[in-house]
Amino acid sequence: MALIDAVVPSGANPHENTQVELMSEPAGNLGEIGIHEQKLLRMGVFVALAIAIHNFPEGLATFLAALQDPNLGIAIAVAVALHNIPEGISVSVPIFYATGNRRKAFVYSFLSGLSEPVGAIVAYLALRFFVGGESGAIPPQVMGVLFAGVAGIMVYISLDELLPTSRAYGKGHDSIYGLVGGMIVMALSLLLMK
């Protein structure tokens, strides 16, 4: 994600258009309101794409875990389903506030989530073909690299995009409370699903 930000020219990169500064300024006329809506829409689309990319290997991880141990696969699927709820919200809310269209917000959120099962099938077939041994098993080192990449993408997006935007629109410390609350929910889910 950092490489994409560095390569895409700042004028065309919605991530670099100083959206938080523009969104946090009070709108004085209709032109500024249009800019705010455009920035929100760009951010929503960018987050949808990032989450779609994130969901691709996440679907693979869930699928592979289910192949090796169905009980573990169910536990991972439940944990993934729980954390897909705030992901869907982070896609649909900016798009809804930018367009006022619930259907468009739902469609973008749905499409970003749909990449998970598609990613599971496509990535599994590709990995099995390229790195699978004679048995078709994928080495744990490759899985470790995939998990690290997925985690890195989401940490980068969260800290560089979602948290600053949430602070610009939130009241007081709402975004930090949400961040800590999310950490608590994930920690509890990991403990409960052992």
Most confident segment among 82-86, 95-99, 147-151, 165-169: 95-99
- The DSSP symbol for 118 reads H
Cα separation, 181 vs 160, in Å, equals 19
- CB count, 10 Å around CB of 113? 19
Q: Tell me, yes or no, whether 137 lies in a domain.
A: yes
The Cα–Cα gap between 73 and 63 comes to 7
Element (H, E) at 161: none
Instruction: Flag whether 185 is in a domain.
Output: yes
pLDDT band at residue 8 using 50, 70 and 90 as cut-offs = low
In a domain, 184, yes or no: yes
Let me know if residue 98 belongs to a domain: yes
| Measured distance CA(192)–CA(169) in Å, rounded | 33
Is 88 part of any domain? Answer: yes
Q: Which of 22-26, 55-59, 103-107, 188-192 is predicted least confidently?
A: 22-26
For residue 143, what are its two tokens?
A: 């899985």
Amino acid occupying residue 117: P
Per the structure, the count of domains in the chain is 1
For residue 1, tell me if it sits in a domain: no
| Contact of 168 with 23, CB cutoff 8 Å | yes
Quick one: average pLDDT of 129-148?
76
Q: Distance (Å, rounded) from C-alpha 56 to C-alpha 116?
A: 5
pTM of the model: 0.56
88: its two tokens: 């869907």
Q: How far apart are CA 56 and CA 119, in angstroms?
A: 4
pLDDT tens, position by position, 26-60: 444 444 447 778 877 887 887 787 777 777 767 87
Question: In one letter, which amino acid is 166?
Answer: S
Kindly state whether residue 37 falls inside one of the protein's structural domains.
yes
Most trustworthy range by pLDDT among 22-26, 85-89, 166-170, 190-194: 85-89
Domain range enclosing 93: 19-192
Residue scoring higher pLDDT (124 or 7): 124
Q: Exposed, middle or buried: residue 122 (CB in 10 Å: 0-12, 13-18, 19+)?
A: middle
Residue 9 has pLDDT above 70, yes or no: no
In-domain check, residue 31: yes
Which residues, 6+ apart, have CB-to-CB distance to 179 below 8 Å?
Answer: 163
117 pLDDT more than 80: yes
Q: What is the pLDDT of residue 102?
A: 93
What pLDDT does 10 receive?
58
